[in-house]
C-alpha cells in the first residue's frame, strides 16, 4: 500500500482495489475513512500503519460493503478505537443474516469472510450533518443509492472522501455492471455533488482530484445508459434469469464463479427495479414464474 498526501492533514491510502481516507489528528493518532477488504488489505494496511507509527483512534465507515468495512472489527479490536457508521449500515453490518438479507452476496457454503461484521460505537442518523470524532469535526454527506445508508465524509481540511458515490473515468470504462442498490436515489446523490465545493476529492474507485463536475455527468450518463442497455435486451416476456443470460451474451460478460455471478445478479436486479420505477417494464406471472416485459406489451 502507498500513502498519498492529499491536502493538509488528509491522506489517501492506495490499496489494490480501493482508495481509503486517512486524517491525522497529530503525528501519531489517525482516523481512517473505510478499511478495505479483509482478505487482500488487512496485512498491508497493518504494515503501513506500523511503518508510519500510526495509532487508529477512530474509523468512519461509509457503508457496509466488504471492500469498505472488511477490517473495521479487526482494527477496533487491535486499537480499541471508536467506530462511526450510518445507523442503517450499522444495523446491516451487525450480523451475518442482516448482511445477507440486504446485499445478497453470500454464497451457500458460507464463504465471503463474515468476520467483517462489526458493532459500531457511534451511529450517524439521517439528519446528522456534522459529527465530532476524537476531537475533530467532520461533515457528513448523505449520499444514498449505492447502498441505503451510504455517506461521504468531508475532513476538517475540506477534503471530500466520496467513497462509492462516484467512479473515476477509468473505472467507468472498465465496468460491466454497476453495483448500485437504488439507482434513482444514486443518480440524485451524484447530481447533488455539483453543489459541493471542496479543496480536493477522493473517490474510492479510484481517483484523487480537485474537480468532479465532468466525473459526475459521466457517472450519470453511464448508469442511465446501462439501464437502457439492459432494456434493449428484453425480448417479449422473459424470466429474469433468461434476460440476464441474453444480456451477458450480448456484452460478452463471462461469469467466473458463484461470487461473480451473485455480484452481477445483484447489480442487474437493481437496474431492473429502476426500469420498473420509470414504468418502462412490468413484472408479470406466467406459469408460476416471475417474468418481465415492456410496459404495455402483451404476451
What are the tens digits of pLDDT across the range 235-281? 999 999 999 999 999 999 988 888 788 889 999 999 999 999 999 99
Domain at 233-294: CATH code: 1.10.10
DSSP type of residue 88: H
Residue 188 CB-density burial (10 A; 0-12 exposed, 13-18 middle, 19+ buried): middle
Rounded CA-CA distance 161/155 in Å is 8
- Copy the grid coordinates of residue 254: 463471462
Parts of the chain belonging to CATH 1.10.10: 233-294
CA distances from 207 to 21, 237, 265 (A): 12, 41, 27
Residues of the chain with pLDDT below 50 are 107-113
pLDDT of residue 102: 81
pLDDT of residue 109: 47
Would you mind telling me the total number of residues written for the chain in this entry?
299
Taking alpha carbons only, the member of 72, 65, 113 closest to residue 89 is 65
Contact 1, 48 (CB under 8 A): yes
SS3 content of the chain, % helix, strand, coil (to 5): 40, 30, 35
Superfamily of domain 2-224: Ribonuclease Z/Hydroxyacylglutathione hydrolase-like (3.60.15.10)
Taking alpha carbons only, the member of 88, 52, 91, 45 closest to residue 70 is 45
Parts of the chain belonging to CATH 3.60.15.10: 2-224
pLDDT of residue 108: 47
pLDDT of residue 272: 97
pLDDT of residue 299: 59
Amino acid at each position: 500500500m502507498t500513502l498519498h498526501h492529499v491536502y493538509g492533514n488528509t491522506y489517501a491510502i492506495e490499496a489494490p482495489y480501493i482508495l481509503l481516507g486517512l486524517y491525522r489528528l497529530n503525528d501519531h493518532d489517525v482516523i481512517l475513512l473505510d478499511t478495505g477488504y479483509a482478505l487482500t488489505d488487512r496485512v498491508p494496511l497493518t504494515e503501513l500503519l506500523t511503518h508510519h507509527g500510526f495509532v487508529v483512534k477512530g474509523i468512519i465507515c461509509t457503508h457496509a460493503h466488504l471492500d469498505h468495512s472488511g477490517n473495521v472489527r479487526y482494527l477496533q479490536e487491535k486499537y480499541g478505537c471508536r467506530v462511526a457508521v450510518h445507523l442503517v449500515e450499522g444495523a446491516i453490518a451487525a450480523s451475518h443474516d442482516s448482511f445477507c438479507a440486504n446485499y445478497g452476496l453470500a454464497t451457500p457454503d458460507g464463504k465471503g469472510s463474515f468476520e467483517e461484521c462489526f458493532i459500531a460505537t457511534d451511529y450517524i442518523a439521517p439528519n446528522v450533518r456534522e459529527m465530532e470524532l476524537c476531537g475533530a469535526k467532520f461533515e457528513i454527506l448523505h449520499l444514498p443509492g449505492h447502498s441505503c445508508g451510504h455517506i461521504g465524509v468531508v475532513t476538517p481540511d475540506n477534503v471530500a472522501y466520496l467513497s462509492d458515490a462516484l467512479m473515476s473515468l477509468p473505472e467507468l470504462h472498465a465496468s460491466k455492471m454497476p453495483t448500485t442498490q437504488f439507482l434513482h436515489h444514486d443518480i440524485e446523490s451524484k447530481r447533488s455533488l455539483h453543489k459541493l465545493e471542496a479543496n480536493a476529492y477522493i473517490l474510492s474507485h479510484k481517483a484523487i482530484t480537485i474537480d468532479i463536475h465532468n466525473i459526475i455527468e459521466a457517472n450519470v450518463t453511464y448508469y442511465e445508459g446501462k439501464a437502457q442497455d439492459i432494456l434493449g435486451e428484453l425480448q417479449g416476456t422473459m424470466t429474469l434469469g433468461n434476460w440476464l443470460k441474453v444480456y451477458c451474451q450480448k456484452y460478452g460478460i463471462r461469469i467466473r464463479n458463484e461470487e461473480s455471478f451473485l455480484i452481477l445478479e445483484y447489480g442487474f436486479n437493481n437496474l431492473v427495479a429502476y426500469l420498473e420505477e420509470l414504468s418502462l417494464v412490468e413484472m408479470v406471472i406466467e406459469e408460476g414464474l416471475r417474468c418481465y416485459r415492456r410496459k404495455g406489451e402483451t404476451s
